[in-house]
Amino acid sequence: MTSKSKPTALVTGASSGMGKSIAERLIADGYLVYAAARNTDRMADLARLGAVPLRMDISKEADIVAAVAAITERSGGVDVLVNNAGYGLYGPVEEIGLDEARYQFEVNLFGAARLTQLLLPAMRAKGKGTIVNITSMGGKIYTVLGAWYHATKHALEGWSDSLRLELEPFGIRVVVVEPGLIETGFGAAASQGILERSGSGAYAGVSKSVAASMERSYGHGRGTDPKVIADVVGEAVRSRRPGTRYAAGKYAKMMIWVRKWLGDRAFDRLIKSQM
């Protein structure tokens, strides 16, 4: 049975943080929202608002295929895809195994790419659609011990730009959103991972310094409310001619500007000063 009375949207990583806020905003804007995450129990509040929770591990082909099949059966596809699922792998390149690095790419890039591939035919058939890729200011800058995380976000930026050109003739828009410092669990999870992986040994000093910097920067009301990013997504989706990218949230515009205009050495000094 299909449901096509409302425009439809799929939001990944919707169990918390930006993903949950984006789902809430799109529901308020009148969308039938499919909310995808590994833990559907954490999306019970979204279900009460009218969302359709989907269990999906973005790194698993079977989960992605099953989610798309469920959406296709009920709605025939989606009008809006928000690729939000992701996490941050931090630590010294020397000490992070390539299996971990590959998983970082599976979650932050390849999962979004596979989901996009499967949903595109229905969008092309309708001659319209919007794909919103949540990258990060980390897709334009870099930080100490963030090599693999930044690699995925830089890759998602470039992938999105090429995709935008590919899909424009079919009436499908591709928008990049680059959040800055947002109030989510990102910092705590990343700093804990650094200490567990490299709290001793050759990189212990820099690892403890970076972890402490993350603890200071994230949480405790120092970042931007995820609703700010949700509002950006909502406005971009509604716009007849959205921007190609939006930088939003604490430090995003400033850090991207500094990186672009002051050069590598000046940016290196800025990053090191925060440690």
pLDDT (average), residues 135-156: 97
pLDDT given for residue 270 in this prediction = 92
pLDDT confidence bin for 220, thresholds 50/70/90: low
Options 31, 34, 149, 246, the catalytic residue: 149
Query: What is the CATH classification number for the domain harbouring 155?
Result: 3.40.50.720
How many structural domains does the chain have? 1
Angle between helices 98-105 and 147-167 (to 10 degrees): 30
pLDDT (average), residues 111-127: 98
The answer to the question of residue 217 being in a domain is no
pLDDT confidence bin for 257, thresholds 50/70/90: very high
Percent of the chain topping pLDDT 90: 83
The answer to the question of residue 192 being in a domain is no
Q: Give first-to-last CA distance, the chain, whole Å.
A: 56
Residue 158 reports pLDDT greater than 50: yes
168-216 residue pLDDT tens: 999 999 999 999 999 887 777 777 888 888 778 899 999 898 888 887 7
Per-chain mean pLDDT for the chain: 94
Q: Give catalytic status of residue 103 as yes or no.
A: no
The answer to the question of residue 166 being in a domain is yes
Q: What is the pTM of this model?
A: 0.94
- CA-nearest of 176, 22, 4, 160 to 77 is 4
Count Cβ atoms below 10 Å from residue 184 Cβ, excluding itself.
21
Q: Six-digit token pair at 163?
A: 């995709």
The answer to the question of residue 32 being in a domain is yes
**What gap in Å lies between CA 175 and CA 196, rounded to an integer?**
36
Residue 19 reports pLDDT greater than 70: yes
pLDDT (average), residues 130-143: 97
The answer to the question of residue 260 being in a domain is no
The answer to the question of residue 197 being in a domain is no
pLDDT given for residue 219 in this prediction = 58
**What gap in Å lies between CA 256 and CA 262, rounded to an integer?**
10
pLDDT given for residue 2 in this prediction = 43
Report yes or no: 97 and 129 within 8 Å, Cβ to Cβ: no
Residue 60 reports pLDDT greater than 70: yes
Percent of the chain topping pLDDT 70: 97
The answer to the question of residue 274 being in a domain is no
pLDDT (average), residues 72-97: 96
The answer to the question of residue 230 being in a domain is yes
pLDDT given for residue 5 in this prediction = 78
**What gap in Å lies between CA 6 and CA 44, rounded to an integer?**
21
Residue 1 reports pLDDT greater than 60: no
Q: Residue 49 is part of which domain span?
A: 8-184+224-252
217 vs 226: which has the higher pLDDT? 226
pLDDT (average), residues 243-249: 97
pLDDT (average), residues 122-142: 98
